């Protein structure tokens, strides 16, 4: 049996299998038919997305991803994992321990104020200039992440990222 989201999120038909978020799990992200990019689950809701596109015969692990470049680290909705949109395909617990979750920035349009947000929940006031090179704190839908991966690999701007960066 399959379900379809009705809350404006990912519209793909989802399998009725369930997965739990576990730090160090590697997930396969299909970006074209039988072509995958891989993500590593960090502290919930963070995920590191790795550079590289692989065919179905590749088996990701601590060793195979150790030298891979991290494209970006973002937050994703828990349902992306729990509803098996991205399936777990391996474990890289050692690598997960080595990857540092970076600070993010928060912008409040109504007050025109910026903050830098840390993984422990601490926020400090910041200037726009201090936030320029940081990722905006946001929770991403799976389809927007997949678009961003494809755009990053192709070297073109991503509409979702640009929309968030317009501050």
List beta partners, residue 73.
48
Residue 125: inside a domain: no
pLDDT value, residue 85: 95
pLDDT value, residue 1: 34
pLDDT value, residue 6: 44
Residue 5: inside a domain: no
Residue 88: inside a domain: yes
Cα separation values, 24 from 13, 21, 90, 127, Å: 26, 9, 9, 34
Residue 106: inside a domain: no
Residue 120: inside a domain: no
CA dihedral sign, ordered 124, 125, 129, 133: positive
pLDDT value, residue 12: 55
pLDDT value, residue 57: 86
Contact at 8 Å (CB) between 146 and 31?
Answer: yes
Burial letters 88-119, b for 16+ CB under 10 A, else e: bebbbeebbeeeeeebbbbbeeeeeebbbbee
Domain ranges, residue 32: 13-100+138-159
Residue 126: inside a domain: no
Residue 112: inside a domain: no
Residue 155: inside a domain: yes
pLDDT value, residue 56: 86
pLDDT value, residue 18: 84
Q: How many domains does the chain have?
A: 1
pLDDT value, residue 136: 95
pTM: 0.86
pLDDT value, residue 17: 72
Q: Collect the ranges in the chain with pLDDT lower than 70.
A: 1-16, 166-167
With CA atoms as reference, report the closest residue to 44 among 80, 9, 71: 80
């Amino acid at each position: 049996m399959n379900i379809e989201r009705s809350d404006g999120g990912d519209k793909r038909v989802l399998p009725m299998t369930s997965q739990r978020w576990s730090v160090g799990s590697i997930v396969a992200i299909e970006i074209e038919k039988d072509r995958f990019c891989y993500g590593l689950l960090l502290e919930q809701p963070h995920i590191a997305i790795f550079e590289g596109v692989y065919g179905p015969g590749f088996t990701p692990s601590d060793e195979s991803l150790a030298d891979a470049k991290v494209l970006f680290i973002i937050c994703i909705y828990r349902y992306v994992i729990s509803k098996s949109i991205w399936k777990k395909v391996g474990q890289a617990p050692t690598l997960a321990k080595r990857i540092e979750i970076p600070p993010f920035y928060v912008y409040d349009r109504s007050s025109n104020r910026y903050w830098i947000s840390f993984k422990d929940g601490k926020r400090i006031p910041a200037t726009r200039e201090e936030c320029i090179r940081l990722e905006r704190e946001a929770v991403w839908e799976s389809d927007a992440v997949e678009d961003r991966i494809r755009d990053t690999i192709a070297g073109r701007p991503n509409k979702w990222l640009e929309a968030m960066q317009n501050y």
